[in-house]
Amino acid sequence: METLIRCHCGFEARAEHQDELVAEVQRHASEAHGMALSHDEALLLAFRAQLDSDEAAAERRERSRAQSSNNVVSRPKEER
């Protein structure tokens, strides 16, 4: 499964495998930000980005559910 992470500068790293993603993060950190990241540091950044992405998706789903429930019109039961 492809993983996508985004840097605050707008860069996106995509990879099918963890080692590829780590290499992309390390390369970008070095070239764009002058940061030398170890394998573990890059992996941690990738993991945190994934958690943030999952959390944001959960928040969007919750907002969507809330909006849907706000659009439901309640009608009183008819008197018999």
Provide the pLDDT confidence category of residue 23 given band limits of 50, 70 and 90: very high
Instruction: Tell me the pLDDT tens digit for each residue of 25-40.
Output: 999 999 999 999 999 9
More confident residue, 72 or 51: 51
Taking 60 as the threshold, does the pLDDT of residue 11 lie above it?
yes
CB-count burial class (<10 Å; 0-12, 13-18, 19+) for 72: exposed
Q: How many CB atoms lie within 10 A of CB 6?
A: 12
- Mean confidence (pLDDT) of the chain: 84
What pLDDT was estimated at residue 6?
86
Taking 80 as the threshold, does the pLDDT of residue 73 lie above it?
no
5 within 8 A of 21, measured Cβ to Cβ: yes
Measured CA to CA, the distance from residue 56 to residue 58 in angstroms comes to: 5
